[in-house]
Structure 1
Amino acid sequence: MITEPERRMILSYAPTAAAGRGLAALLVLDDKLAETVRTTTEPMLGQIRLQWWHDALAKLDSAPPPAEPVLEAVARDVLRDGVAGERVAEIAQAWQAVLQPELDADGMKGFALRGACLFELAGALAGASPGDPLALAGEGWALADLAAGLTDPGEAAAARMNAGQALASATAARWSRNARALGAMAHLAQLDLAGVPLGSPRRTLRALWHRLTGK
């Protein structure tokens, strides 16, 4: 979880304005999907709504976006340099995992793809290095966020454990300069797991150190 000031800080780490706009569009899309799940009272209805987003994103490969601001931003700022709407649609597909009656190991793995896909797409737009642990960092980021919202103690503990393992590996790497916005997100997710409160100067300093050093 990041605050709006932290999000602005992270976006400022993007290597180009275009990369920043792409990451911003992906995060806004993810926010919209999270809202879709959060405001759904019936799992079946939630699945239908997420499927609409999935299909609408995939259709961006062959048709202009409808008059919907999130889809317009994805079409304008994300679908370039070989990035396809069908790939972006995988983020919506991954969100379906949290609508299942029980979040088992397979469901958790499926939800982790939300972050892996988002980070890989943003990394492609930013010109990340092949050595940047994008998928691993994204999985950890998504699972740390999931753990904070789960009410079942067992599910929350499993999500925290999996997130911690992924983030420990991802944050041990030295990130390329072009991918440091995403590396900073991984470090902030690790601080979420450690219980460092939002707004703490420690969070800002950790992100700034990563921007300077890649570590």
Structure 2
Amino acid sequence: MPRLLASYAGREAPRHQLLWAYDARLADVVRTTREPMVGQMRLTWWHEVLSDDAQVKGLGDPLVDALRAEPGIMAARDGLLAMIDGWEILLDPLPLDEAALRSFAEGRGRGLFRALDAVADTKAGALWALWDLSGHIGDRTTAQRAVEVAREYLPAKIKGNKALRLAAGLARHDIVRGRAGPSELTPRLYARLLRIAVFGR
């Protein structure tokens, strides 16, 4: 899905691909962590990398080097740091309550959309993050709560480049119907994306 969305970003596609790769790396930290303290340490490493103006921390890591080499990405540092805070919420015991889900959405979703496009509607980012979480988290109670909390971000005024409008449009389609997001890119979801791309809905 991220690769497909990035393909709609035009000249910004390479930067979008890097930011989605960064989001995936943070997700991988959460997914592979068994001890919350270890996960926090791994996320703290990323915080230190992004806060290092000398650009020494993490030198040699392919993703770190690519992020630093791409013009404009480090200018979006606030959004990238917010994403770390958002993902850290998922290290808490499940099920997550509504307050925790809002913190996740504010961090990961708003942070990601702000990093992808400075004029994006970050409320739509929070909507998208909860929709995405609802389709991937194994705890059904948390997934259902994510859908319910996501409704608080409706209706979202979707601004920004086409890639983000598509992401938010997919999320809005399911959330207004009280449905969780899919766990993978299905043919039906792909068809819906194409319809939104062509007709805007």
TM-score, normalised to structure 2, is 0.81
Matched to 1:101, the amino acid is P
1:204 aligns with 2:190: yes
2:89 aligns with one of 79, 82, 97: 97
Rounded to whole Å, the distance in 2 between the matches of 1:86 and 1:175 is: 20
| Aligned residue runs from structure 1 range 89-128, under 5 A | 89-102=81-94, 103-112=96-105, 113-124=107-118, 128=119
**1:41 counterpart SS class:** coil
How many aligned positions are there? 194
Would you say the 8 A contact 2:97–2:145 is kept in 1? Answer: no
Matched residue, 1:156: 143
Q: CA deviation at 1:94?
A: 1.5
Would you say the 8 A contact 2:134–2:181 is kept in 1? Answer: no
Q: CA deviation at 1:164?
A: 3.9
Rounded to whole Å, the distance in 2 between the matches of 1:50 and 1:93 is: 9
Relative contact order (alpha carbons < 8 A, sep ≥ 6): 1 or 2 greater? 1
Matched residue, 1:67: 60
Instruction: Let me know the Cα RMSD of the aligned residues.
Output: 2.7
**1:14-51 CA distance string (max 9 Å, x none):** 131xx111111111011111111111110111111111
Rounded to whole Å, the distance in 2 between the matches of 1:114 and 1:180 is: 20
Would you say the 8 A contact 1:13–1:181 is kept in 2? Answer: yes
1:44 aligns with 2:37: yes
Q: CA deviation at 1:122?
A: 0.6
1:184 aligns with 2:176: no
Q: Could you list the runs of 5+ residues in structure 1 that have no partner in the other structure?
A: none
Q: CA deviation at 1:98?
A: 0.9
**2:10 counterpart SS class:** coil
Would you say the 8 A contact 1:11–1:20 is kept in 2? Answer: yes
**2:93 counterpart SS class:** coil
- Mark the CA change 1:98 to 1:12 in structure 2 (over 3 Å): closer, same or farther: same
**1:95-115 CA distance string (max 9 Å, x none):** 111112352333212211201
Rounded to whole Å, the distance in 2 between the matches of 1:15 and 1:97 is: 32
Q: CA deviation at 1:203?
A: 2.4
- Mark the CA change 1:86 to 1:123 in structure 2 (over 3 Å): closer, same or farther: closer
Would you say the 8 A contact 1:95–1:114 is kept in 2? Answer: yes
TM-score, normalised to structure 1, is 0.76
Identity %: 32
Matched to 1:209, the amino acid is R
Q: CA deviation at 1:204?
A: 2.7
- Mark the CA change 1:100 to 1:174 in structure 2 (over 3 Å): closer, same or farther: closer
Deviates further, 200-209 or 19-28: 200-209
Q: CA deviation at 1:81?
A: 7.7
